[in-house]
Structure 1
């Protein structure tokens, strides 16, 4: 028996939900905001926009299809199935948050507040969903999807009836104990308490350097417009940042400290193909997390190694 497609909607709690969870009532939340020069009406309007988008997305799912809903905070505990169609309703970062838990499932990014978000990853409106999910469902999941090269419009295809999809490069970090973590934007390696991280870095060329820094960022072309771009702007000799579909990564060491015991020459570069950056911890606790999701992190103890390179999986963004 063939299972019907399952649509999994991903969202995060609105600011209003968080305020009510903290303060209990709208009156208390309004007082809290007034003390900070803000208005509850703005927060309520954004909450209602998100609720309306979620309602419209839910109504677009065929009645005979299966469906699920997961909040951002619960992503590390949610099990996605190969036949799932994932709809992220929120800001661009929500697509990055969910990408690391997927393996080829098509993702539709829905912007509940057009004009407020950049719309790089959440490029669709809630009204587009009905047109997008039926072709995705008929494609039979990841194995039957018709992924197109990056650079396509991300809008439904005309002649084939199937939606176009961009394949975006992802980054993966692998620990020497077998644990691994993927990211769509970037992976950060640094001290858990934001103190100086001490480690030995080994570049693909074979050069090694002992460093003390504020951490290491390895980013994709998707992430090159964010954290990596802000670092590159301050670097005189920053490497060329990759585009989202490039099979390449850029990496930067933040605030490397030169001293008699540590160097600051291996601070930026590009990884292509099977190249990897290796880091050996000389701190008792370093953390590795992706796309700002610190709650889902790997830990490195003294002497442990982590290798970072291009992930075999790619985001299929419709």
Structure 2
């Protein structure tokens, strides 16, 4: 007998709840903020609105379904099942935080604060949830399949992300490593620019390496492209193509700055060999769940086999 579908509602602790955890009471939190020229009512209002929307989403789950809730901080300990339909209740970033723990489950994003964010991934309102769940269960739902980026270490450990993976030193000190695109055509792949020969590498010292998707092209990748006036065209969210950038590469007698940006598509990988005592790779800003790499280890970054299935 097959299991009934399960709706997994993903949410996160609000700013108001964090203030109460730190200061104990509403009054103490209000006093703390007022002493710094800020008020608490807008923060409390966002909290009440988010909790109301979460309750509305929960009430939209059919009685015949199973239901579970998971807070953002517990995602790395939560076991998603193949029959789950995931409803992310929050902001765009919460969808990205959730995506790395999924393996093809459909996702619906419900915006708790419309107009305050881009709403690229949280496209729906609570009133849409019943329809989305019915469509997902009936296998007639429409999806956007969004490209993800993956880092695979030489010991088999792997990490996926929806927006980007950053690789560098903990604490953001200078990182030392060797960088090697898999094939010719980097940097400037697809732009007619020549690149290094196959197998070429460059020793570098930098603030780290960022590899991102089309979904992430409106965030951190965008700021890097603008900062250096890069001519690399950003991919769309569903495009199986990634951009990579080296942050603040430092020229020295033993390190270079020639390989600082490029494109990854198809089977092409960006390979990095660690020459620091410790580097970390983490996805979508979640440093607490990272790959840890030591001197001599290597990691390959490229397009992930899995995609995020975002309900339309």
What is the TM-score normalised by the length of structure 1?
Answer: 0.92
Cα deviation for residue 207 of structure 1 reads: 2.1
Contact preservation (8 Å) 1:195, 1:214? yes
Q: Measure, in 2, the Cα distance between the counterparts of 1:42 and 1:287.
A: 37
The 3-state SS of whatever aligns with 2:86 is strand
Q: Which residue of 2 aligns with 1:93?
A: 93
Q: Which residue of 1 aligns with 2:238?
A: 245
Contact preservation (8 Å) 1:110, 1:126? yes
RMSD over aligned CA atoms reads 0.8
Q: Measure, in 1, the Cα distance between the counterparts of 2:229 and 2:97.
A: 31
Q: Which residue of 2 aligns with 1:200?
A: 178
Cα-to-partner distance string for 1:114-138 (whole Å, 9 max, x where unaligned): 1112100000001110111012122
Cα deviation for residue 234 of structure 1 reads: 1.4
Q: Which residue of 2 aligns with 1:142?
A: none
- Where relative contact order (Cα < 8 A, 6+ residues apart) is larger, the structure is 2
What is the TM-score normalised by the length of structure 2?
Answer: 0.93
The reply to whether residue 269 of structure 1 matches residue 246 of structure 2 is: no
Contact preservation (8 Å) 1:200, 1:210? yes
Cα deviation for residue 203 of structure 1 reads: 1.1
The 3-state SS of whatever aligns with 1:223 is helix
- Count of residues in Structure 1 that have an aligned counterpart in Structure 2: 296
Cα-to-partner distance string for 1:48-98 (whole Å, 9 max, x where unaligned): 110011000000001121011001011111110011000000010000000
Cα deviation for residue 194 of structure 1 reads: 0.9
Q: Which residue of 1 aligns with 2:154?
A: 176
Contact preservation (8 Å) 1:198, 1:282? yes
Q: Measure, in 2, the Cα distance between the counterparts of 1:108 and 1:207.
A: 43
Q: Measure, in 2, the Cα distance between the counterparts of 1:265 and 1:235.
A: 14
Q: Which residue of 2 aligns with 1:52?
A: 52
Q: Which residue of 1 aligns with 2:15?
A: 15
The reply to whether residue 130 of structure 1 matches residue 111 of structure 2 is: no
Q: Measure, in 1, the Cα distance between the counterparts of 2:204 and 2:231.
A: 19
The reply to whether residue 191 of structure 1 matches residue 152 of structure 2 is: no
Q: Which residue of 2 aligns with 1:152?
A: none
Q: Which residue of 2 aligns with 1:144?
A: none
Cα deviation for residue 168 of structure 1 reads: 0.4
Q: Measure, in 1, the Cα distance between the counterparts of 2:231 and 2:178.
A: 21
Aligned structure 1 segments of 4 or more residues deviating by more than 4 angstroms:
none
Stretches of structure 2 that go unaligned for 5 or more consecutive residues are 185-198
Counterpart of 2:247 (choices 254, 268, 285) is: 254
Q: Measure, in 1, the Cα distance between the counterparts of 2:230 and 2:29.
A: 48
